[in-house]
C-alpha cells in the first residue's frame, strides 16, 4: 500500500509541479509582452524613418522592404517561396501595395531575385520596357516605370529594399 500511495503522490506532485511551472512561464510571457511590443515598435519606427529618408533623397514614388519566406511545401516536398512587402512609404500620388503584396508567389519575380543575387553591387535595375517579359509584365502590373532593388545583406534571400518610380525612367549614379 505504501508503494501505491507513494506512486500516487509522485504522480499528482509531478502534474501539480508541471501545471505550476506552465503557469509561471505564461505569467512571465505576459510580463515580457509589453517590453517586446515596445522594442518591435521602435524597430518598425526606425525602419519607416529610413524609408522616408530614402524616398526624400531619391525622389522615388515608393520605398519598400520586401522579404522572402518559405511557407509551405508541395506534396512532392518542393518549397513554395513567397515575397511579402513588410514596410512601405509612398508619395501622395502612389497607391500603397503593402496590403496586397502578402504571400505573393516568387515565381514571376525569380529572374529579378537572381539578378540581384548575381549583381556585383548587390542590386538590380528593372524597367517597364525590360527585355525579360516576366519582369516587364510585373512592372506594368504594379504601374512602375523604373525600380531598383538592393540586397539588405550579402544574401539576397534576407530581403531587399525596393525603390520605385512611376512615370519616370530613372538611372541612379554610382554615388547615389
pLDDT of residue 27: 72
Task: Tell me what pLDDT residue 26 has.
Answer: 78
- Is residue 58 scored above 90 in pLDDT? yes
The rounded distance, in Å, linking the Cα atoms of 130 and 149 is 14
- Residue 57: per-residue pLDDT: 92
pTM, entire model: 0.73
Closest CA to 133 of 111, 152, 105: 111
How many Å apart are CA 77 and CA 93, to the nearest integer? 43
Q: Which residues lie below 8 Å from residue 37, measured CB to CB, with a gap of 6+? A: none
67-100 residue pLDDT tens: 988 767 767 777 778 889 999 999 999 999 999 8
For residue 53, how many other CB atoms are within 10 A of its CB? Answer: 12
CA dihedral 104, 107, 112, 113 (to 10 degrees): 80
User: Tell me: the pLDDT tens digits for 106-132?
Assistant: 888 887 888 888 867 788 888 888 888
Q: Give, for 126, the enclosing helix (H) or strand (E).
A: strand 123-127
Q: Are the C-beta atoms of residues 152 and 161 closer than 8 Å to each other?
A: yes
CB-based contact 71:79 (threshold 8 Å): no
Q: How confident is the model at residue 3 (pLDDT cuts 50, 70, 90)?
A: low
Task: Give the model's pLDDT for residue 49.
Answer: 93
The CA-to-CA distance between both ends of the chain, in Å, stands at: 83
pLDDT at 59 over 90: yes
Judge contact between 110 and 127, C-beta under 8 A.
no
CB 63 within 8 A of CB 55: yes
pLDDT at residue 162 in the model: 92
Check whether 54 has a pLDDT greater than 90. Answer: yes
The CA distance from 147 to 127, in Å, is 6
pLDDT classification of 17: cutoffs 50, 70, 90? low
Amino acid at each position: 500500500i505504501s508503494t501505491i500511495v507513494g506512486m500516487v503522490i509522485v504522480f499528482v506532485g509531478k502534474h501539480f509541479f508541471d501545471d505550476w511551472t506552465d503557469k509561471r512561464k505564461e505569467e512571465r510571457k505576459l510580463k515580457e509582452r509589453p517590453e517586446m511590443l515596445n522594442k518591435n515598435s521602435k524597430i518598425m519606427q526606425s525602419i519607416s524613418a529610413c524609408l522616408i529618408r530614402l524616398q526624400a533623397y531619391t525622389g522615388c514614388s515608393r520605398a519598400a522592404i520586401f522579404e522572402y519566406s518559405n511557407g509551405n511545401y508541395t506534396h512532392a516536398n518542393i518549397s513554395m517561396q513567397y515575397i511579402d512587402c513588410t514596410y512601405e512609404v509612398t508619395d501622395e500620388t502612389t497607391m500603397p501595395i503593402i496590403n496586397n503584396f502578402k504571400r505573393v508567389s516568387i515565381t514571376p519575380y525569380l529572374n529579378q531575385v537572381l539578378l540581384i543575387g548575381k549583381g556585383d553591387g548587390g542590386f538590380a535595375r528593372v524597367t517597364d520596357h525590360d527585355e525579360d517579359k516576366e519582369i516587364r509584365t510585373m512592372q506594368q502590373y504594379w504601374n512602375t516605370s523604373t525600380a531598383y532593388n538592393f540586397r539588405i545583406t550579402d544574401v539576397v534571400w534576407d530581403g531587399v529594399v525596393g525603390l520605385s518610380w512611376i512615370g519616370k525612367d530613372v538611372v541612379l549614379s554610382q554615388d547615389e
